[in-house]
Amino acid sequence: MCGRFENTRLEKEILELFRSANLNVEIDSGISNRSDQDFRSKEDIRPTEKIISVILGNDIYRITRVNWGIKFSDASPLIFNSRIETIKEKRYWASLFSKNRCIVPMTGFYEWNQIGKRKQKYRIFLPDQELFFVPAIYHKDKEDKIFASLITTGPNKFIKTIHHRMPVILDFKNAVDFLNEESVANLERCIPYDDNKPMELEEADK
């Protein structure tokens, strides 16, 4: 599961990362290089907030802001995470996975662990990667507003000690490939993070 996450990188920094790989990239003209969220939001981003994402269209990687959580109607639930198992099993979700993919940059994410009568919040990060990407699917409404849902999978050994789900985690190369390749190859990417690669956690404030 991923109910909160951190991204301390602004659009301009993501832009430079893609440019360094000689990719055709642009920042959505409707947003500024300055964050319109307060500092807390960048450190502790929550469902329904605007999040940075990268969408590929017409051979251009577009850095934009989308709403975190898909809601198809006022009566429908907010879907801020999508299980890869559901994507594999249900036609509509498989169609979104095939046609409407994006990637979300992160510098960490949060999980909670029950310790006695209290829940401890942990910040989880990759010590060898300051920035990583979580794949997502998105829905565009009639007003062309984009709503994204992060893709989750089962836990690796590290996460299993605190939670039964985790976000799919991709490095930059695999994240770019995720935007370009077909569903079969992308389904193979949506697996728990490699147990042989380092992950760390630290206690975080509520």
Q: Could you tell me the two tokens for 6?
A: 């951190």
pLDDT at 33: 47
Architecture in CATH of 4-204: Alpha-Beta Complex (3.90)
Alpha-carbon distance of 115 to 76, in angstroms, equals 33
Q: Write out pLDDT tens, residues 181-203.
A: 999 999 999 999 999 999 999 99
Q: Write out pLDDT tens, residues 19-59.
A: 999 999 999 876 654 555 455 568 899 999 999 999 999 99
* Domain ranges within the chain, ordered by starting residue: 4-204
Q: Write out pLDDT tens, residues 92-115.
A: 999 999 999 999 999 999 999 888
Instruction: Pick the more confident residue, 158 or 76.
Output: 158
Whether the full predicted model's pTM is greater than 0.85, yes or no, is yes
Q: Could you tell me the two tokens for 66?
A: 């989308």
* Residue 17 backbone phi and psi in degrees, to 5: -60, -45
pLDDT grade, residue 75 (50/70/90)? confident
Strands 108-115, 101-106: pairing is unpaired
Q: Where are the beta strands (DSSP E) in the chain?
A: 4-6, 25-27, 50-57, 60-68, 81-83, 101-106, 108-115, 118-125, 132-140, 146-153, 166-167, 200-204
- Residue 42 CA from chain centroid, whole number: 14
Exposed, middle or buried, 62 (CB in 10 Å: 0-12/13-18/19+)? middle
107 and 7 Cβ atoms separated by less than 8 Å: yes
